Structure 1
Amino acid sequence: MRRRTLLPPGATALTGALIASVAAIRSLQHSPDRSLARAKDALNQDRIVKTLMEGTDHETAIYEVDGSQEGPTAVILGGMHGDEINGYRVAADATNWEIDAGRLIVIPFANIVAVERNSRRGPDGDLNRLFPGGREPESTLARAIWGVVEDADPDVVIDLHRSRGLFNTHHRWIGQVVLLTETDGTADIAEDVIDYMNDHHVPQTMRFHRFTMANIHDTDRDSGLLIQKVHHDLDVPGFLVESTDFLLDLKTQLRWTTTITERLLERYGIQRTV
């Protein structure tokens, strides 16, 4: 968001104080220890169906949310990058959702070691670069996660992330983007969800925060992203959701990430009821 303001004489000190206060609030909101504790408190332990890599540092739980009716299966992942708080917080919350049909397979802390360190990378590097299409995943953890995805036989996979910066403004960062596979219908679905977010959630005064979409083939042909392998090996729709933290408080990041996830699920026949 860009603003032009004319400051009256003497306002500089007040503005500096306000900026410092906002920074302090943001620092508190983004406290990794507090966010991890809240995420763990939100987990519905009654819905654990499997423990991944039990007895290792990577041990983490897999959750299943079942609807009252038969329906599609969605896999939701958070914490692929350990410093992306909104991703694992929303995935943790999803273990408590109620849905009308189908099922959700949820991995809130895909890379628990990186989450606990508040680090993008884990011991094996960037986990979301270890899923080459047509080949075995390149770490023990990546292979275990891929096994969960394969066993779920999903109709859609949603991978939740946080970006920095703004799309087409800060070229080092991807910004507010829904990255999708080329599976039939995914572009129309992503466009519908993005239009909804931009029309109903992103304020007009924050036009630089508007969401956009990108195809995985606009990136490297095979950079090892999980959704690339989902597309290549399973021919299943995949979405990587990026919500920025640039001038955006954590509460808003969580709300926007949650809403995008809900809307994507709706388009695949899974309606959140609570």
Structure 2
Amino acid sequence: MRPDSLSRRSLLTVTAGCALTGAGVASVVGDTAQSEEDADESGVTRESFVIREGTDEETTVYVTTADADGPTAVVVGGMHGNEIAGYTAAERIADWTIDAGTLVAIPEANAVAIERGTRNDDEGNNLNRQFTAGGQPETELAQEIWAVISDYDPDVVVDLHESTGIYAGDPMDGVGQAIFHSADQAAVDAAADAADYVTRNYVDDPDLAFEIGPFSAPGTDPDGLLVHKAARELGAEAYLAETLSTDIELGTRVQWHSAIVDRLFQDDLLLNEPAEGTAPDEPADDESDESEAPAEDEGEDEAESGDGGEEADREPPVAEISTDPARAGERVLEPGQTVTLDASGSTAPDGEIVRYEWRVGDGPFDETGETIDVTVSAKGDHPVALRVVDDADRTDTITLTLSADC
């Protein structure tokens, strides 16, 4: 599974809503009755639609469908607005290209809490306690999220979170560095495999090794979790992944989340390569993976990696955007205001960046250069994407949203 191009509305046609979003997390405003749909060069179809449109809770659902039949997987982030790595990783996962099946992503499930930077919304509701077992979810937002998930009837559901403490068998002390799983044996085995794989390949400190744990029993705390309802009422393999949020760089936490999801999806969505940007620094010492014959894949990443060797071990580039005025992705701008976007902070750890590609709205990456100027000529939210390419043709993509005042 590899990140690829995004599917977004054009800058001029987005005219409703003025939600304020941060750099790296795109937000799209659209019509819930008409989804955005686009087939990209990889052959997958991408569409998006909005739930809770016209409210402060407005958020976008992204759906990627491969040509080949396969299972359906759901990834959710941003249930709690102060768990930044979860919703940042979910936003990037929404842009991955899959080889089979359907990927549904809700990166910013709790838009109000994300804007506030708090665990709960402005009424004190904990969104991840609203999914009542055996009944209707408690809030309108939870009801609409559940309607999306139940309509797609997923085989796999992954919810991304963060904790200020490390899990050691007692959730009261913290649940970080853990993958919690549903009761079916397939989920138990997959969680254990993902925890072991990510620890071996991404975690330097043994104190931060990932553990696994079962969901709480029905009727016991914590109760009302989305993944509990998905497992028990839809029969999905369900997982809740938690990373430690304290004293760990955001980029590392996002990588952990991305690698967990990638590993969990390897079998279910017939994904035979790690997502770009989640590959470990050193090749994994995983005999079971090495013994498997590589699947045929005509994707550009495999074709350009050749026989492996030195280039296969290279770290991908990292895309970064700075703005003038500063932090423009976190401001409400005036219609007609021009913002300069600067990609010079992007890096290529094992090479050099050879190309900067930009996309404004839903068009192709048709602007190039280290900097571009974007004029926000209409009210609403306007997504911009930057894709950087290094001298080994490896890429990374990041987005931000420019919001004009209503």
- Whether TM-score is above 0.5 comes out as yes
Stretches of structure 1 lacking an aligned partner (at least 5 in a row)? 1-33
Shift of 1:124: 5.2
Partner of 1:20: none
Shift of 1:45: 9.0
Deviations 1:20-76 (A, max 9, x none): xxxxxxxxxxxxxx9832112899996443210111111111111122311110011
Tell me the secondary structure at the aligned position of residue 22 of structure 2. Answer: helix
Partner of 2:120: 121
Shift of 1:221: 6.0
Pick from 15, 39, 42: which aligns with 2:25? 39
One-letter code of the match for 2:24?
Answer: R
Shift of 1:171: 5.0
Structure number with higher strand proportion? 2
Shift of 1:245: 1.7
Query: Structure 2 vs 1, CA of residues 35 and 252 (structure 1 numbering), >3 Å: closer, same or farther?
Result: farther
Of 169-178 and 226-235, the range deviating more from structure 2:
169-178
Shift of 1:228: 0.7
Q: TM-score, normalised by structure 2?
A: 0.55
Partner of 1:152: 152
Contact kept in structure 1, 2:110 and 2:127, CA below 8 Å: yes
Tell me the secondary structure at the aligned position of residue 119 of structure 1. Answer: coil
Structure number with higher helix proportion? 1
Deviations 1:194-245 (A, max 9, x none): 1111222111xx1110100110036936611111111221121110010112
What does 1:11-30 correspond to in 2, within 5 Å?
A: none
One-letter code of the match for 1:255?
Answer: Q
One-letter code of the match for 1:78?
Answer: G
One-letter code of the match for 1:65?
Answer: T
Contact kept in structure 2, 1:191 and 1:213, CA below 8 Å: yes
Tell me if 1:185 matches 2:186.
yes
Tell me the secondary structure at the aligned position of residue 173 of structure 2. Answer: coil
Contact kept in structure 2, 1:133 and 1:224, CA below 8 Å: yes
One-letter code of the match for 2:105?
Answer: V
- Equivalent residues, number: 239
Query: Structure 2 vs 1, CA of residues 153 and 191 (structure 1 numbering), >3 Å: closer, same or farther?
Result: same
Deviations 1:163-186 (A, max 9, x none): 112222995311211011112411
What does 1:1-274 correspond to in 2, within 5 Å?
A: 36-40=22-26, 47-122=46-121, 123=123, 125-168=125-168, 171-203=172-204, 206-217=205-216, 220=220, 223-271=223-271
Contact kept in structure 1, 2:28 and 2:60, CA below 8 Å: no
Query: Structure 2 vs 1, CA of residues 171 and 223 (structure 1 numbering), >3 Å: closer, same or farther?
Result: closer
Query: Structure 2 vs 1, CA of residues 170 and 228 (structure 1 numbering), >3 Å: closer, same or farther?
Result: closer
Stretches of structure 2 lacking an aligned partner (at least 5 in a row)? 1-19, 30-35, 39-45, 277-406
Contact kept in structure 1, 2:98 and 2:269, CA below 8 Å: no
Tell me the secondary structure at the aligned position of residue 91 of structure 2. Answer: helix
Query: Structure 2 vs 1, CA of residues 189 and 128 (structure 1 numbering), >3 Å: closer, same or farther?
Result: same
Shift of 1:256: 0.7
d(CA) in 2 for partners of 1:218, 1:233: 14
Identical positions, percent: 36
One-letter code of the match for 2:85?
Answer: N
State the Cα RMSD in Å: 2.5
d(CA) in 2 for partners of 1:263, 1:110: 23
d(CA) in 2 for partners of 1:222, 1:228: 10
d(CA) in 1 for partners of 2:55, 2:27: 22
Deviations 1:237-259 (A, max 9, x none): 11001011232111100111100
Contact kept in structure 2, 1:72 and 1:270, CA below 8 Å: no
Tell me the secondary structure at the aligned position of residue 265 of structure 1. Answer: helix
